[in-house]
Amino acid sequence: MPGDLTINDIGKGVSEIRNRLIVKIFREYRYIEQLGSGINRIIDTAKQTDQPIPVFEEVGNFFKATLYNCPAVIGVRVKLRLN
């Protein structure tokens, strides 16, 4: 994990910018709503669609996310905002 960031921090909305230029470009094109919100949005979406909660873990110098492949939930739509 970069800097002082821990696996426990990521679920609390804490983030650490590694490449400021990429962040600047993504913000300019409105691909980023708010830094540090992605993990919580993934967890909330899994809960809303009755899917297993992904597992996030630190493995050495890497961050590992395990997302489960489950059948689609009929009648539930997840809206992605890229504005």
pLDDT tens-place string over residues 12-69: 777 777 788 998 998 888 888 777 778 888 888 888 888 899 998 888 878 788 988 7
| Whole-structure pTM value | 0.63
Number of domains observed in the structure of the chain = 1
pLDDT at 8 over 80: no
d(CA 59, CA 66): 12
Neighbour tally for 10: CB within 10 Å: 20
End-to-end CA distance of the chain: 28
User: What does the alpha-carbon distance between residue 58 and residue 30 come to, in Å, rounded to a whole number?
Assistant: 29
- pLDDT recorded at residue 25: 92
Residue-range definition of the domain harbouring residue 37: 7-66
The candidate with the shortest Cα–Cα distance to 83, out of 10, 28, 43, is 28
Residue 14, domain member (yes or no): yes
Whether 60 is in a domain gets the answer yes
In a domain, 50, yes or no: yes
* Domain membership flag for residue 44: yes
Residue 75 lies in a domain: no
Separation between Cα atoms, residue 82 and residue 65, nearest integer Å: 22
Domain-embedded: residue 1: no
What pLDDT does 80 receive?
53
